[in-house]
Structures are given as C-alpha cells and as structure tokens.
Amino acid sequence: MEIVAINQISPDQVILFQWGWIVINATLVYTWMVMGLLVVGSILITRGLSPERAMSRWQNLMEVILSNVRSEIGEIAKDGADHYFPFIGTLFLFILFSNILTFIPGYVAPTSALTTTSALAVMVFFAVPIFGITKLGVIEYLKEYFRPNVIFFPFHVMGEFSRTLALAVRLFGNLMSHEKVIAILLAVTPLFFPIVMQALGLLIGLIQAYIFAILAMVYIASASQSHEETEHKGKKHGKETPEK
C-alpha cells in the first residue's frame, strides 16, 4: 500500500491521527523525521568538533555546506551575513534534506505539501519586515514602500504578497509534480525511468532548496538596504542594483 496514493495530491491528505481539530498527517511526521535527522546529526557532528586543521569527514561536509551558504549570504547581504545566517541556513538545510531524502522508498518530501511551503513562505514574508526594521528602523523601512513615489505603495504591497505566494507555490509545485511524475512513471514503466527521475529529483531538490533560500535572502537583503544605500552601492560598483 502506498503512503501517498496517486489520487492524493500531497501528504497533507494522508491523515494518520485526528482528534478534534488536531490533525497529525504525513507532512508533519516527515517534517519531524527531517528535523530529528538534522538535530541528531548536528549534535553528533558537533560533539567532537575540532578547531584544528584535521577534522572528521562529517564536520568537513557540514563546514563545506555552511561556509558556502554563508558566503552566498555574504555576497547578497554584503554586510551582517551572520545575522541572517541561522534563518537562511535553516531554510536551506530543511528544504534540502526534505527533498533529497526522497530516494528513501516510502518517504514523501514534506516540501511537496502546500502547508509546509506556505508556512515557509509566510516565515519569509514575516522575516523580511523583521530584518528590515531591525536594520533600518520602522520609518526608514516603511519609506521604501513609497519609493519612487506614493503611487507605487499598492504595487509594493502586492509584490510582497505575490512573491510569498510564488515562493510557496514554486517549491510545492516542483516537488509535488516530481512526486506525481515518479508515481505515474512507476505505474507505467516500473523499471528504468523512475530511477532516472529519482536522480533528477535529487538535482531538482537541491536546486529548489538553493532557489528558495537565495530568494528569501534577496527579499530580506532588499528590505534591509535603504534606497540611498542601494543607490550608493550601485554607483560604487559601477552598475545599478539588479531588480529583485
């Protein structure tokens, strides 16, 4: 018996336990599994952490991943990368591990459920003003909504919502469709193609995790840099700041 049947579009629909309005579905269970894996792995890896040049392979792997995430954040945020690092890093690691664990038979990525992607997108939605206000202050942050003039205010607000929706739907759509394509291929050609698609799925999972984290960082960074600062930096680098 399949955990997620072909007619069920996401693991949200696989309800394992329900007591009143409390629902425990497959999405939550797989999320806890990924969380448990990440937390236990982190504890194990960081247990024998070495500041010396010689280190364990796992520590090396984690350092490679985290230092790359950190440098990517640094390239986008320019300054204060470590401030954004826990949020963006957690987004990336959670989505990445949720996605790449799909090679385990029976596992369904929680990111292929709209509730998860929506929750993550809403997190980004709130993180943008929180980081922006922390960095610029309330007034300076709100001023950005009225640039270049007041007419643009509704467009900015619409932009905020639409990009949050786009974040949620992009990740959900990619992962969910991938799950469905594999399910369909298993039904049609159970031998060779599903394996190729699984391999492709790992790549898609990685890319989606990267896209989600980078976009979140770009949104936060754009909100955390004032208009004057952006212009100054653009002139300093001899080019205008790219459109977000």
Partner 1 sequence: MHIDWFVFFAQIVNFLILLFLLKKFLYGRIIGAMDAREARIAATFAEAEKAREEASRSVLMCEKKLQDIQGASDEMMNKARGEADAYRRELMDKAREEVDEIQNRWTETLRSERENFFQELRRLTGTQVYAITRRVLKDLADMDLEQRIVQILTERIETMNREERERIRTLMTAGEKITIQSAFDIPPEAREKLNGTIRMSIGSGIEVAYEKSDDVMSGYELRINGYKIAWSMKDYLDTLEEKFYHVLYEESQERKQVH
Q: Please, which residue, 89 or 159, has the CB nearer to partner 1?
A: 89
- Rounded to a whole number of angstroms, the minimum distance from the CB of residue 131 to partner 1 is 14
What stretch of H or E contains 17? strand 15-19
Residue 111 near residue 123 (C-beta atoms within 8 A): no
Q: Does 242 bind partner 1 (CB under 8 A)?
A: no
Query: Of residues 4, 120, 136, 209, which one binds partner 1 by CB under 8 A?
Result: 120
User: Smallest distance from the beta carbon of 53 to partner 1, in angstroms?
Assistant: 7
Nearest to 121 by CA among 153, 79, 163, 179: 163
Task: Pick the closer one to partner 1 by CB: 70 or 227.
Answer: 70
Contact between 225 and partner 1 per CB under 8 A: no
| CA–CA distance, 61 with 93 (Å, rounded to integer) | 13
Selected range binding partner 1 among 88-96, 158-166, 183-191, 230-238, rule: CB under 8 A? 88-96
CA distance 97 to 209: 9
Dist. CA 39–CA 90, nearest whole Å: 11
Whole-angstrom Cα distance, residue 122 to residue 116?
A: 10
Nearest to 231 by CA among 148, 161, 149, 136: 148
Site for partner 1 in 164-193 (CB under 8 A): none
Place of tokens 């998860």: 116
Residue numbers 63-82 binding partner 1 by CB under 8 A:
63, 66-67, 70, 82
Binding residues (CB under 8 A) for partner 1: these are 9, 12, 21-23, 25, 27-28, 31-32, 35, 38-39, 42-43, 45-46, 49-53, 55, 59, 62-63, 66-67, 70, 82, 85-87, 89-90, 93-94, 110, 113-116, 118-120, 122-123
